[in-house]
Amino acid sequence: MISSSSKSPALLSRVTCPQCFSKFLPEDILWISEHQDLSILDNRVPQGQLRFLPSRFTPQAEALDPRGMRCHRLACPTCHLEIPRPLLEMEPYFLSVLGSPGSGKSYFLAAMTRQLRRLLPIKFATAFADADATINLRLKKFESDLFANRNPDQLQELRELIGKTQLEGDGYSAVNFGTQSVSYALPFVFNLRLDDQHPNVARRGVGRTICLFDNAGEHFLPGMDSSKAPVTRHLAESRMLFYVFDPLQDSRFRRLDKSLESGTVDKSHLGSQEGVFGEAATRIRRYAGLSTTQKYPKPVAVVVTKCDRWMHLIYSSIQDRSPIVPWTMTDSDGVAHQTHAVDVGLVDYISDGIRELLISTCAEVVGAVESFSDSVRYIPVSATGWNTDVDSLTGQAVMRPGEAEPFWAEIPFLYALASSSLGLVPKIRNVYEE
């Protein structure tokens, strides 16, 4: 069990593992040993340190392993995979990113988390930080490659800046259950907590542990999820789905404007995007016990990527518009505080325009998503901003990394929080008309 003192934060009554999704009492959490003699001894995690239920603690409430070493890391009692400590203190908020191979999921995630780190503390008085730097190392590398590139002023191909998400590797972990090995997807985990300067005094200190899941696009192809590799089971647990859709992979969309024809497109992916969503919808129904006629009771954000290339087809001045707007909040004492809110009215207005554009070109995508959920928003995102170009010799999209400035990359996440009942991000709804 975890020993506690009067200064220790309150623990949840039930803890949810973000890998196997088992639920357990906090006193059943396992600790991960530190002594080198206890390596390669765990019966579940190959090459892992021994996991154990401690009986001895230091005065600072740190467990002592069987060799007397102080321990600091925790693990799930079911799958034995590591669990960041904040998951014992704050309720998890699961979000899933899905999309076909090459749709831009990793770019979107890198841009989104970079923007959230910058904007949440300044505009919403809310801390957003890694729950564990080691667990988020892969995503931090994505952010570094894109926004802290070693050659910021050198033209580079976009497809080379961030490597493709792999089917195996450091985004997944194998666990042994007897003679069967099961591979689990590892989420990126963040702490989100209203800080001490938040204008809503009653909500200060309130937060959630954000768990973001990003699979290789191939994992959403038929037959790629099984009891040996349940790597997309998080879909049924998520509070909102981010379906990343690249319209430039569709030849019908590119025919809307000659400028969209430039650049090389991987034709092996054409036509597969709605199929990926359809497969994900089938799995969610199966995991969540939904019938074929039941709608998914949670929202879906269709993240329509590369909007710097096509947004001019709908709105000419979109670069100057943001749903993050100044807002005055009055506390219980009648004191006014200046903060920001998400204008969900603007998001809905832009969403309607994109929906009409997609209906005219990729109607089956709209049909697949809206037949699954009654709450769908189409949100334009550019992970790199408006300074991309196409190399005339290679036909590849290029840019100088130092000029990358994401557009609306943080909006799907902020819209999800603002639309939820958590009360962590305020919202307003202005009315927009043509």
Q: What is the pLDDT of residues 384-426, one digit of tens each?
A: 998 888 777 777 788 888 999 999 999 999 999 999 988 889 9
Residue keyed to tokens 């949840």: 12
At 432, the pLDDT band (50, 70, 90 cuts) reads confident
197 vs 45 pLDDT, higher one: 45
Lowest mean pLDDT among 122-126, 245-249, 315-319, 341-345: 315-319
Lowest mean pLDDT among 7-16, 122-131, 295-304, 308-317: 7-16
pLDDT (average), residues 105-114: 93
At 5, the pLDDT band (50, 70, 90 cuts) reads very low
Residue 170 has a pLDDT of 65
Q: Which amino acid is at 65?
A: D
Cα 369 from Cα 143, distance rounded (Å): 29
- Residue 236: pLDDT over 70: yes
- Residue 216: pLDDT over 80: no
- Residue 270: pLDDT over 50: no
Closest to 421 in 3D by CA, of 185, 259, 206: 206
At 9, the pLDDT band (50, 70, 90 cuts) reads low
Tell how strand 188-194 and strand 207-214 pair up: antiparallel
- Percentage of the chain beyond pLDDT 70 is 90
Cα 150 from Cα 331, distance rounded (Å): 46
Closest to 412 in 3D by CA, of 188, 171, 111: 111
Residue 124 has a pLDDT of 94
Lowest mean pLDDT among 239-243, 260-264, 422-426: 260-264
At 91, the pLDDT band (50, 70, 90 cuts) reads very high
State in Å, rounded, how far the first CA of the chain is from the last one.
60
Residue 269 has a pLDDT of 46
C-alpha torsion sign, points 111, 113, 119, 124: positive
Question: CB neighbours of 232 closer than 8 A, spacing ≥ 6?
Answer: 96, 98, 185, 215, 219, 220, 225, 280, 283
Lowest mean pLDDT among 65-74, 99-108, 325-334: 325-334
Residue 263 has a pLDDT of 57
Residue 160 has a pLDDT of 79
- Residue 293: pLDDT over 70: yes
CB count in 10 Å sphere of residue 407:
21
CA distances from 264 to 29, 200, 252, 394 (A): 50, 50, 15, 8
Number of Cα atoms under 13 Å in the Cβ half of residue 320: 3
Residue 3 has a pLDDT of 46
Which domains, and CATH codes, for the chain? 1-87 (no CATH), 90-428 (3.40.50.300)
Residue 229 has a pLDDT of 63
- Residue 2: pLDDT over 80: no
Cα Rg for the chain, rounded, in angstroms?
23
Q: Which amino acid is at 64?
A: L
- Percentage of the chain beyond pLDDT 90 is 54
pLDDT (average), residues 292-296: 89
- In the sheet that holds 126-130, the strands lie side by side as 126-130, 188-194, 207-214, 92-99, 240-245, 300-304, 376-380
Determine what percent of the chain falls in helix, strand and coil, rounding each to the nearest 5: 30, 25, 45
Residue 304 has a pLDDT of 97
Cα 259 from Cα 248, distance rounded (Å): 11
434 vs 339 pLDDT, higher one: 339
**Contact of 18 with 82, CB cutoff 8 Å:** no
Lowest mean pLDDT among 21-35, 70-84, 219-233, 319-333: 219-233
Residue keyed to tokens 């749903």: 323
The C-alpha torsion from 355 through 360 and 365 to 370, rounded to 10°, is 50
Strand, coil or helix: 143: helix
418 vs 157 pLDDT, higher one: 418
- Residue 14: pLDDT over 50: yes
Residue 8 has a pLDDT of 57
